[in-house]
């Protein structure tokens, strides 16, 4: 009996989800891939993308939280592009791409502590072990390139929920994110596990041929065993991955101009620039979901020095990524998302710092399916709390899935006797930002 | 008189037209604005509320009756549409927001005049569907089915065979042939001990020897550890070590080795602290058993101790109900169970038992791990072993002095930050500085707290105790957890034995009346617990779970054992026997096994012996086209399922085959040796995540450190169980990263190298290859295999490649 026949007659087949059952209606123009630029530590929205002139005017006055003093932003804001987005002087390079960006100024989350909020942003829950956004995406859309993992995360932090942030939880294990590198170690040194053979190419091939012969001999003896078929296939894929992955990881093939575009070679931007360029190479090669982690944005003190340093590390590479994706025709079907787990307070912590704020923060999106140059949501005069166009993490997840052509209420997985969703029983698609 | 008459007239006019008023003013608004979320037709009953029938609107939802005739102030619906609060106002903002004032006035009038409502039937609010599952097979008493007669009277060897054969015959099928003896010996070794048979096997008395071996206990302990979600770190938001968890692991091994009756095993894990014991050693063992309740995943960083307490109890309920009963009781935390006859009241009755329980899980405490507890200190008389970790007495003394200073600074800083305090002391400190002080003090406290002043490790136990009858007086000077910015609650509020309030929608901010501690009504079969005064009820709960009358426990247990031997349970959803799970393929056999298990004194070894000596267990894995077409998933067990080795068995077999394995049990684990603190993360970590990922050594794999969120690479790649979840059946994936591991990892290289040395001690290619195949596959090579291998040559390098190939091939990776 052949493999196809077996899959027809058995419930063991590797079924992909039927997209028709899940379509959100956005499928025709849906982006195919995602680059999530995750800014760990919670960037200050009032110093970057949420312009609050009254906060500056009222510096030193009592803040909305009792016993606090407002702290104006020391960075000058100006408007950019036809969209007229207000952006602070900390992002001079990204500002030239203003018209590609769509800002969500009304972001809110629930727990003002990094681990919970970071997990919630990634999995929808800080309380329970749930599949991550990337795993759900992979599960819903399947693979674009069987030679590569479908979900890759670059330099994730080891704390804050660790691997749970890119885990598959109860989803089948193949949807788990493949980790490359860890936070605080240069990505230039990172590699996929077990990709390099210690043997010579010939010796390895001879060994693999023997494995294949042994497995085929077993198949002949037993006539039929889909698991052995699967094993043979997995070795072939691994061998191809061994061949293809190092090429994807090798930035040596990029021109000097491209590297410069991403700020590679400059100590300030090198690491994040490499991650961005890797992300582009990966989505280009067919990886479905790439996440880049970048920290630390947790500026409780020393905001004056630390925030500009954090911004400088990402500003030029962000422009590089967006312009490069666009010039290669990839931006129209790649969804780029940027943001951290929450925002920061308009009032001061100490002399020169800002505390956690879950009532308002800013994220942005660019690329396929998103209304470029738009903004949604408004915070109060100080940026303390979103007062209109609030977007919860569940709403944000619902919107991301919708953009990818998936209905967040229909993308379910049955586990422990019930159907689970990324958005649990919540989530509203932010239609206002759909192109 | 006149005005009164006038009023009466108006009132009666209104009464005459009240149905018209409803039809004209009320029903259209309900239909347009409310039915979208509160009607049978929409399939939604948000807040448990249906507004499309008189019954629904009068009964109301979670917050009480939506409409109380003639009393607008008591009618939740009126309060909601008045829209005082944007969070609870109805209709919600995204559905159009507040209604016009005239419409609100209409509703008030309608309620005041009696809320006439002609709607009837059809849309009656259903309390919950789960009750419909009362008749589900798993909630019926375990029967004593008659062993069926079969047409073929020669094949069956045991009663198990007769049950299986009868089903096959009913479908016109017969089983395939028996596996050859080499295959059977390897199957038995791997299933019973997780180790390969070796190159020479004595088959006389083999089964007895295997069952009596410690290797058997280790293998089957690992199965139970999957169910018990065993791990040595908390997982969750901060992944903190549980350095005493290994004692529970060893307790499980010892219990299985001794073939402790399974009902006793259950009682010890749930209520060992409440069982009588002879002496301190037995008392300590019983306490260690309750580690089952303490080792679950936890998010320690929460700022609200009350939330933490109910989440902890919920995790325990989830683990207990799935591990022993195969039902998902915690689905009823926020609402009545959607599929099973378990109400939120039932959940709350059980929750009270666990909220009356003091769970001593330990952990480091401090910032990002705000919810810590102490451990149970064992007296010397218990004779508990400790891991070889020491602190020299001078260091202990120095840290102790340092702690006093820090604690003083901390207390002063906290005092000076209280509202109304005079400035000075810590007033200039930022909140961040104070948190740092608290954290630093906590860290040292925990470091030295692990040791006696002479620097030796104190023997401690993870486990549970009953809470006291009355709440102890709180120490007001004690800093609340989480430092100055944390929640205002100083404690969880669950400080003594008490019934739990019902939390509406599972929210701790929304309490209803308390529910008496006890059993879920339907599952309890009408019985209730008799909980003595001054007791949590945990012991009574344990006794009910481990009783022969319980319709679930014995069935769930024998079914898991069947799954672990066949790769598929008689009930395929091994951890879910509820109405959303699968029905048994062989209900009579399941009950037969469950009864026999109970009659055999809940002996695991007897049960396993009965199964492996059946003909069904000894069938070949051979494919058969006609049988496959009739039953493609082998639900009728016409053959044995070929199963991929699990992660531990792959690694243990590689160590054994290459002659590297060390079968002596190690004391503790890598995590026990590291002590208290986070794994990975930024601050205070006691172990790098890499140390877990790359943990290796020569001991059996169940002794590798088991952390949550980060796992040993060798185990994680081959579908090691996620230790946050009760898991009686692991997944089996076959994916490229596994192949990369087999092709390129240092571990497999080393094993292949050592195996090559071992086979090269024989003279000549054929003898060498014969030994290699016997070691890897438990059988002699086939001629085509020898021919293929010979092409690689006879050099050492060739042998390393050949051995690696054997360890990567299906005949090694599968149990046939």
How does pLDDT run across B381-419, given as a tens digit for each residue?
A: 999 999 999 999 999 999 999 999 999 988 888 877 766
A178: chain B residues, CB-CB within 8 Å: 737
| CB-CB under 8 Å, B328 with A416 | yes
Whole-angstrom distance, CA of residue B155 vs CA of residue B138: 31
What is the model's pLDDT at position B419? 65
Q: Where are the alpha helices (DSSP H) in B321-392?
A: 344-355
| CB-CB under 8 Å, B797 with A206 | no
Burial class of residue A142 (count of CB atoms within 10 Å of its CB; 0-12, 13-18, 19+): middle
**Cβ(A289)–Cβ(A150) below 8 Å:** yes
| Token pair listed for B65 | 């009756």
In this complex, how many residue pairs, one in chain A and one in chain B, have their CB atoms less than 8 Å apart?
227
In tens, the pLDDT along A111-127 reads 888 888 999 999 999 87
* Candidate from A206, A217, A428 with C-beta closest to B785: A217
Q: What is the mean pLDDT of residues B283-296?
A: 98
| DSSP letter (8 states) at residue B162 | H
Whole-angstrom distance, CA of residue B806 vs CA of residue A404: 44
What is the model's pLDDT at position A18? 34
| CA angle in degrees (0–180, nearest 5) for B199-B200-B203 | 135
Q: Report strand pairing: B44-45 vs B643-644.
A: unpaired
**Cβ(B578)–Cβ(B136) below 8 Å:** yes
What is the model's pLDDT at position B189? 98
For residue A134, the distance in angstroms to the closest alpha carbon of chain B comes to: 16
B1 — pLDDT class (breaks 50, 70, 90): very low
3-state DSSP assignment of residue B151: coil
What is the model's pLDDT at position B721? 80
What is the model's pLDDT at position B28? 78
| Token pair listed for B250 | 């060893």
**Cβ(B435)–Cβ(B483) below 8 Å:** yes
Q: Which of these ranges, B125-129, B513-517, B561-565, has the smallest mean pLDDT?
A: B125-129
In tens, the pLDDT along B747-777 reads 999 999 999 999 999 999 999 999 999 999 9
Q: Where are the alpha helices (DSSP H) in A286-413?
A: 303-327, 393-403
Of B256, B276, B268, the C-alpha closest to B293 is B268
Q: Which of these ranges, A342-351, B111-120, B586-595, B668-677, has the smallest mean pLDDT?
A: B111-120
**Cβ(B461)–Cβ(B432) below 8 Å:** no
- The residue extents of the domains of chain B are 2-126, 218-382+493-545, 393-456, 743-815
For residue A261, the distance in angstroms to the closest alpha carbon of chain B comes to: 32
Whole-angstrom distance, CA of residue B613 vs CA of residue B590: 17
Q: Hey, which bits of A343-411 come out as E strands?
A: 343-348, 354-357, 361-367, 375-376, 378-379, 386-388
**Cβ(A371)–Cβ(A433) below 8 Å:** yes
Q: Is the pLDDT of residue B477 over 50?
A: no
Whole-angstrom distance, CA of residue B443 vs CA of residue B365: 7
B746: chain A residues, CB-CB within 8 Å: 198
3-state DSSP assignment of residue A36: strand
A333 — pLDDT class (breaks 50, 70, 90): very high
What is the model's pLDDT at position B50? 83
Whole-angstrom distance, CA of residue B431 vs CA of residue B136: 57
| DSSP letter (8 states) at residue A395 | H
Unique residue bearing structure tokens 């060897």: B157
Q: Is the pLDDT of residue B485 over 50?
A: no
For residues A235, A241, A244, A247, the Cα torsion angle rounded to the nearest 10 degrees is -130
**Cβ(A214)–Cβ(B805) below 8 Å:** yes
* Candidate from B237, B688, B804 with C-beta closest to A115: B237
Q: Work out the percent of chain A whose per-residue pLDDT is above 90.
A: 64
Which domains, ranges and CATH numbers included, belong to chain A?
Answer: 15-189+255-433 (3.40.720.10)
Burial class of residue B664 (count of CB atoms within 10 Å of its CB; 0-12, 13-18, 19+): exposed
Whole-angstrom distance, CA of residue B723 vs CA of residue B709: 9
Instruction: Supply the angle between the helices B538-545 and B262-271 in degrees, to the nearest 10.
Output: 160
Q: Does B745 touch chain A (CB under 8 A)?
A: yes
Q: In the 3-class helix/strand/coil scheme, how is A265-298 assigned residue by residue?
A: CCCCCHHHHHHHHHHHHHHHHCCCEEEEEECCCC
Of B55, B53, B108, the C-alpha closest to B77 is B108
Of B656, B706, B559, B681, the C-alpha closest to B226 is B706
What is the model's pLDDT at position B577? 94
In tens, the pLDDT along A246-286 reads 999 999 999 999 999 999 999 999 999 999 999 999 999 99
User: Which residues, in sequence order, are bridge partners of residue A34?
Assistant: A289, A335
DSSP H/E element including A425: none
* Candidate from A210, A227, A241 with C-beta closest to B789: A210
Of A118, A113, A105, A107, the C-alpha closest to A392 is A107
| Token pair listed for A55 | 């906060």
Mean pLDDT, all residues of chain B: 88
Query: Which candidate in B744, B778, B779, B793 is best for mutational testing of the A interface (most A CBs within 10 A)?
Result: B744
In tens, the pLDDT along A84-97 reads 999 999 999 999 99
Q: Work out the percent of chain A whose per-residue pLDDT is above 70.
A: 92
Q: Hey, which bits of B420-553 come out as E strands?
A: 460-461, 463-466, 500-503, 511-515
Of A418, A27, A158, A95, the C-alpha closest to B573 is A418
| CB-CB under 8 Å, A163 with B710 | yes
For residue A231, the distance in angstroms to the closest alpha carbon of chain B comes to: 6
A197: chain B residues, CB-CB within 8 Å: 743-744
A228: chain B residues, CB-CB within 8 Å: 810, 814
Whole-angstrom distance, CA of residue B456 vs CA of residue B448: 10
Q: Which of these ranges, B52-66, B163-177, B555-569, B599-613, has the smallest mean pLDDT?
A: B52-66
In tens, the pLDDT along A352-378 reads 899 999 999 999 999 989 999 999 999
Q: What is the mean pLDDT of residues B688-708?
A: 92
Whole-angstrom distance, CA of residue B553 vs CA of residue B543: 11
DSSP H/E element including A180: strand A178-180
DSSP H/E element including B478: none
Q: Is the pLDDT of residue A20 over 60?
A: no
Of B211, B206, B179, the C-alpha closest to B193 is B211
Winning range, highest mean pLDDT, from A150-159, B294-303, B434-443, B786-795: B786-795
The ipTM, to two decimals, is 0.79
Instruction: Supply the angle between the helices B736-744 and A201-222 in degrees, to the nearest 10.
Output: 120
Q: Is the pLDDT of residue A49 over 90?
A: yes
Whole-angstrom distance, CA of residue B530 vs CA of residue A86: 68
| CB-CB under 8 Å, A235 with B237 | no
* Candidate from B328, B722, B741 with C-beta closest to A194: B741
Distance from CA of residue B743 to its chain's centroid? 34
Whole-angstrom distance, CA of residue A237 vs CA of residue A258: 30
Unique residue bearing structure tokens 């209304």: A371
A399: chain B residues, CB-CB within 8 Å: none
| Token pair listed for A403 | 């953009």
Whole-angstrom distance, CA of residue B530 vs CA of residue B548: 18
**Cβ(A397)–Cβ(A24) below 8 Å:** no
* Candidate from B238, B580, B743 with C-beta closest to A159: B238
A327 — pLDDT class (breaks 50, 70, 90): very high
Whole-angstrom distance, CA of residue A137 vs CA of residue A151: 9
Q: C-alpha distances in angstroms, A130 versus A182, A412, B171?
A: 21, 12, 42
**Cβ(B593)–Cβ(B562) below 8 Å:** yes
Whole-angstrom distance, CA of residue B207 vs CA of residue B609: 8
How much of chain B is helix, strand and coil, in % rounded to 5? 45, 5, 45
| CB-CB under 8 Å, A113 with B237 | yes
What are the φ and ψ backbone dihedral angles of B14, each rounded to 5 degrees?
-65, -40
Q: Which residue of B has its CA nearest to A350?
A: B430
Q: Does B506 touch chain A (CB under 8 A)?
A: no
What is the model's pLDDT at position B257? 98
What is the model's pLDDT at position A127? 74
Q: What is the mean pLDDT of residues B344-352?
A: 96
What is the model's pLDDT at position B488? 54
Q: Which residue of B has its CA nearest to A388?
A: B93
Q: Which residue of B has its CA nearest to A166?
A: B709
| CB-CB under 8 Å, B642 with A225 | yes
A10 — pLDDT class (breaks 50, 70, 90): very low
What is the model's pLDDT at position B122? 41
What is the model's pLDDT at position B13? 41
| B positions 609-668 inside 8 Å of A (CB) | 621-623, 625, 628-629, 632-633, 642, 644
* Candidate from A115, A159, A218 with C-beta closest to B811: A218
A67 — pLDDT class (breaks 50, 70, 90): confident
* Candidate from B368, B722, B749 with C-beta closest to A115: B368
Q: Is the pLDDT of residue B428 over 80?
A: no
3-state DSSP assignment of residue A70: strand
Largest CA distance in chain A: 83
């Amino acid at each position: 009996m052949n493999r196809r026949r077996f899959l027809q007659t058995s419930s063991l087949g590797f079924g992909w989800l039927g997209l028709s059952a899940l379509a959100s209606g956005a499928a025709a123009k849906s982006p195919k891939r995602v680059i999530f630029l995750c800014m760990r530590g919670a960037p200050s929205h009032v110093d970057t993308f949420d312009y609050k002139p009254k906060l500056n005017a009222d510096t030193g006055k009592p803040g909305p939280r009792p016993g606090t003093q407002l702290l104006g932003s020391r960075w000058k804001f100006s408007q950019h592009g036809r969209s007229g987005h207000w952006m602070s002087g900390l992002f001079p390079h990204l500002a030239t791409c203003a018209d590609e960006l769509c800002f969500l100024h009304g972001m809110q989350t629930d727990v003002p502590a990094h681990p919970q909020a970071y997990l919630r942003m990634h999995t929808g829950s800080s309380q329970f072990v749930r599949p991550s956004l990337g795993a759900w995406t992979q599960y819903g859309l399947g693979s674009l390139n069987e030679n590569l993992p479908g979900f890759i995360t670059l330099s994730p932090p080891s704390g804050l929920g660790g691997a749970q942030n890119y885990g598959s939880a109860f989803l089948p294990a193949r949807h788990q994110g493949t980790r490359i590198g860890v936070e605080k170690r240069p990505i230039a040194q990172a590699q996929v596990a077990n990709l390099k053979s210690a043997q010579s190419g010939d010796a390895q091939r001879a060994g693999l041929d023997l494995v294949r012969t042994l497995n085929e001999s077993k198949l002949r003896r037993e006539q039929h065993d889909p698991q052995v078929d699967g094993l043979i296939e997995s070795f072939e894929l691994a061998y191809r991955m061994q061949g293809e992955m190092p090429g994807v990881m090798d930035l040596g093939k990029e021109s000097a101009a491209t590297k410069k575009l991403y700020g590679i070679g400059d100590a300030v931007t090198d690491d994040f620039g490499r991650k961005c360029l890797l992300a582009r190479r990966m989505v280009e090669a067919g990886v479905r979901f790439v996440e880049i982690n970048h920290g630390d944005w947790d500026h409780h003190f020393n905001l004056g020095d630390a925030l500009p340093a954090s911004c400088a590390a990402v500003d030029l590479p962000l422009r590089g990524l967006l312009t490069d994706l666009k010039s290669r025709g990839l931006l129209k079907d790649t969804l780029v998302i940027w943001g951290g787990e929450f925002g920061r307070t308009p009032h001061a912590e100490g002399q020169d710092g800002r505390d956690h704020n879950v009532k308002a923060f800013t994220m942005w999106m660019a690329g396929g399916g998103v209304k470029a140059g738009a903004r949604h949501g408004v915070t109060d005069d100080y940026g303390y709390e979103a007062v209109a166009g609030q977007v919860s993490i569940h709403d944000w997840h619902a919107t991301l899935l919708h953009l990818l052509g998936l209905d967040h209420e229909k993308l379910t997985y049955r586990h422990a006797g019930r159907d689970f969703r990324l958005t649990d029983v919540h989530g509203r698609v932010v239609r206002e930002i759909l192109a | 008189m006149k005005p009164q008459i006038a009023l009466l007239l108006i009132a009666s006019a209104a009464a005459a037209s009240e149905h018209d008023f409803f039809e004209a003013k009320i029903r259209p608004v309900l239909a347009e604005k409310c039915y979208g979320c509160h009607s049978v037709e929409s399939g939604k009953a948000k807040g448990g509320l249906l507004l499309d029938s008189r019954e629904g609107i009068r009964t109301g939802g979670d917050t009480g009756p939506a409409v109380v005739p003639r009393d607008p102030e008591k009618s939740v619906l009126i309060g909601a549409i008045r829209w005082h609060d944007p969070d609870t106002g109805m209709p919600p903002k995204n559905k159009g927001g507040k209604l016009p004032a005239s419409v609100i006035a209409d509703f008030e009038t309608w309620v005041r005049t009696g809320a006439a409502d002609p709607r009837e039937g059809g849309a009656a609010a259903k309390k919950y569907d789960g009750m419909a599952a009362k008749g589900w097979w798993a909630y019926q008493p375990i029967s004593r089915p008659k062993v069926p007669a079969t047409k073929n009277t020669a094949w069956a060897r045991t009663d198990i065979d007769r049950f299986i054969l009868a089903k096959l015959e009913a479908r016109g099928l017969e089983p395939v042939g028996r596996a050859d003896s080499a295959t059977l010996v390897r199957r038995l070794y791997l299933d019973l001990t997780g180790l390969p048979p070796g190159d020479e096997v004595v088959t006389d008395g083999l089964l007895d020897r295997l069952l009596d071996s410690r290797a058997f206990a280790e293998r089957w302990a690992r199965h139970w550890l999957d169910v018990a979600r065993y791990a040595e770190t908390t997982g969750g938001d901060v992944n903190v070590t549980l350095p005493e968890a290994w004692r529970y692991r060893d307790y499980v091994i010892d219990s299985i080795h001794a073939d402790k009756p399974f009902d006793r095993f259950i009682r010890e894990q749930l209520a060992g602290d409440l069982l009588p014991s002879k002496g301190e050693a037995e008392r300590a063992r019983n306490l260690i058993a309750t580690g089952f309740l303490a080792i679950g995943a936890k998010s320690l960083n929460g700022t609200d101790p009350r939330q933490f307490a109910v989440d902890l109890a919920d995790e325990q309920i989830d683990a207990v109900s799935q591990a022993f009963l195969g039902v998902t009781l915690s689905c009823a935390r926020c609402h009545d169970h959607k599929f099973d006859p378990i109400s939120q009241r039932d959940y709350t009755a059980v929750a009270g038992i666990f909220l009356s329980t003091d769970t001593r899980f330990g952990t480091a405490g401090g910032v990002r791990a705000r919810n810590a507890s102490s451990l149970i200190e064992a007296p010397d008389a218990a004779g508990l072993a400790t891991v070889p970790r020491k602190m020299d007495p001078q260091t202990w003394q120095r840290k102790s002095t340092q702690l006093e200073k820090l604690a003083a600074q901390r207390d002063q800083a906290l005092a000076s930050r209280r509202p109304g305090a005079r400035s000075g002391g810590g007033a200039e400190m930022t909140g961040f500085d104070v948190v740092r002080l608290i954290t630093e003090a906590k860290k040292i406290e925990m470091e030295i707290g692990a040791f006696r002043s002479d620097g030796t490790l104190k023997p401690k136990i993870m486990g549970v105790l009953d809470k006291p009858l009355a709440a102890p007086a709180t120490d007001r000077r004690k800093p609340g957890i989480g430092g100055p910015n944390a929640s205002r609650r100083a404690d969880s509020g669950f400080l003594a034995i008490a019934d739990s309030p019902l939390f509406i929608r599972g929210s701790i901010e929304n309490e209803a009346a308390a529910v008496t501690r006890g059993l879920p009504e339907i599952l309890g079969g009408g019985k209730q617990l008799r909980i003595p005064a001054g007791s949590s009820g945990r012991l009574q709960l344990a006794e009910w779970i481990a009783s022969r009358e319980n319709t679930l426990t014995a069935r769930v247990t024998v079914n898991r054992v069947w799954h672990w031997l066949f790769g598929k349970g008689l009930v395929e959803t091994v951890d879910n026997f509820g109405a959303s799970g699968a029905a048994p393929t062989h209900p009579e056999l399941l009950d037969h096994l469950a009864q026999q298990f109970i009659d055999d004194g809940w002996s695991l070894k007897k049960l396993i012996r009965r199964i492996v000596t059946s003909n069904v267990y000894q069938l070949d894995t051979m494919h058969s086209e006609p049988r496959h077409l009739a039953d493609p998933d082998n639900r009728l067990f016409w053959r044995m399922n070929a199963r991929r080795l699990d992660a531990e068995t792959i690694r243990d077999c590689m160590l054994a085959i290459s002659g590297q394995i060390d079968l002596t049990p190690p004391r503790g684990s890598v995590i026990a040796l590291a002590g208290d603190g986070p794994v990975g993360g930024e601050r205070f970590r006691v172990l790098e995540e890499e140390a877990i990922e790359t943990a290796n050594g020569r001991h059996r794999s169940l002794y590798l450190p088991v952390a949550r969120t980060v796992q040993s690479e060798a185990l994680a790649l081959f579908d090691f169980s996620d230790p946050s979840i009760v898991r009686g059946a692991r997944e089996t994936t076959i994916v490229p990263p596994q192949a990369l591991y087999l092709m390129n990892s240092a571990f497999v290289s080393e094993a292949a190298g050592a195996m090559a040395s071992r086979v090269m001690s024989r003279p000549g290619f054929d003898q060498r290859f014969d030994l290699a195949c016997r070691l890897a596959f438990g059988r002699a090579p086939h001629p085509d295999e020898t021919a293929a291998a010979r092409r690689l040559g006879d050099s050492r390098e060739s042998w390393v490649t050949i051995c690696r190939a054997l360890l990567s091939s299906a005949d090694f990776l599968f149990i046939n």
